[in-house]
Amino acid sequence: MTKGTIKSIKGQIIEVEFLADKPHIHDLLILESDDNVKMEVYSSSGANSFFCLALTSVTNMHRGATVLNTLQSLTIPVGKEILGRIINIFGKPQDGKGDIAVHDTKVIYNKDSNFEKIIRPKEILPTGIKAVDFFSPILKGGKIGFFGGAGVGKTMLLTEIIHNVVILNKDQNVSVFAGVGERVREGHELYETLDESGVLEGISLIYGAMGENPAIRLRTAIAGCAIAEYFRDTLEKNVLFFIDNIFRFAQAGYEVATLMNGIPSEGGYQATLPSEMAQLHERIVSTEKNNITSFETVYVPSDDVTDYGVQSVFPYLDASIILSRNIYQEGRFPAIDFFSSSSAGLSIEIADILHYQTTLDAQRLLKKAAALERVASLIGESELSLDDQIIFKRAKLIKNYMTQSFFVLENQTGREGKYVPVSDTVVDVRAILDGKYDTVDAEKLVYIGSLKEISGI
């Protein structure tokens, strides 16, 4: 091992000097007097000095202390042994179930991506959630983002998808959940939900909670990606990769850059944000043999979707699902904005032709109704022309029909969860557009499953 000396400590950033045998980026350093104190080489700060990320407490560090270069990067345990367990980025269990006897480890960084084996997703993955499957279908092997401000249901939507996709298809996939900068309470609730549902044995969880230092949060998403790659390539499994919340990944990089006095870029974010997002997302890909389907929640600060940190995620997604606070306040859940949400799966080449055409017709109708809303609020719906009344009524039927009771919220709402096949959703919306439900009270469609539940039609 080569030796260096700590020059300065600023929060979680440690500046270390090496006069000989300089370290490489991502090398793991330990304190000579305490090998439990770890830091990672992040970037150079001078001819012989380097900025390092403190991965553990800085309490025992001081200027002049000697550090040792392990000549290795951060590794994480992988394999079937970590399924059903919660770990941190060091592979230490966080669930109170004792040590994990693993037989294999993997460096969290991947330098050997083979882009020749990557394929483009072409198959839809059903979730049983009407608004998602109809307006923004998810591609198997694609990347999906759930965008929304605080308290509009991002995590609940993600948890319901875990229930419907993982729990109802537990023999077909393995799953990885990376909790990046989210609340400990939410992580604990998810763990209990998975345990009670009997699917915990098929999912591996890695947490870097909100209270952790930014270096831990920055590396948690990367470590989760390494686990997903191992399941895809070594165990040859199809993988469902859940990240909650990818915005906290960007935010952690911002905090690190601030501590290093980095010159900010657009919107005040770190100049390295685009490359950090690229390095992560370019590893979440599908190959000729197996795929990784990623589901990412994206916190939208102040409900401003134009925020640069939010915008940095969009280029890598196959489907973007936008949650609206206005829709949430109207009492419609999931609060999905049908106009802003989009998906590459909604095309003639991938989706069924009836699904494709019905979605276009529904969006056209909803846009016409949106233009009539202000007029209707001023003079009343009954004062609209007969044709406009029909448009307004059918739009209301569709919006109410797209509400849905979630399985994971049964204890809170008292309503039984609903799983609706996409074929039923398409047929139902087509029937509404064709006027078959014009005489039905729109309130009867709130939180139902399919239209088959309405009697007397």
- Residues with catalytic function: 154, 182-183
262 secondary structure, DSSP code:
P
- CA 424 remoteness from chain centre: 27
Give the whole-angstrom CA distance, residue 417 versus residue 49: 57
453 contact partners, CB below 8 Å, separation of at least 6: none
Q: What is the dihedral of CA 184, 187, 188, 192, to 10 degrees?
A: 170
Three-state SS at 151? coil
Query: Pick from 12, 9, 5, 17: which is nearest to 65 by CA?
Result: 5
Other Cβ atoms within 10 Å of 66 Cβ, number: 12
33 contact partners, CB below 8 Å, separation of at least 6: 60, 65, 66
Q: Find the helix packing angle between 273-281 and 214-233, rounded to 10°.
A: 30
Phi-psi region for residue 447, left (φ > 0), alpha (ψ -120 to 50) or beta? left
182 contact partners, CB below 8 Å, separation of at least 6: 155, 209, 210, 244, 245, 248
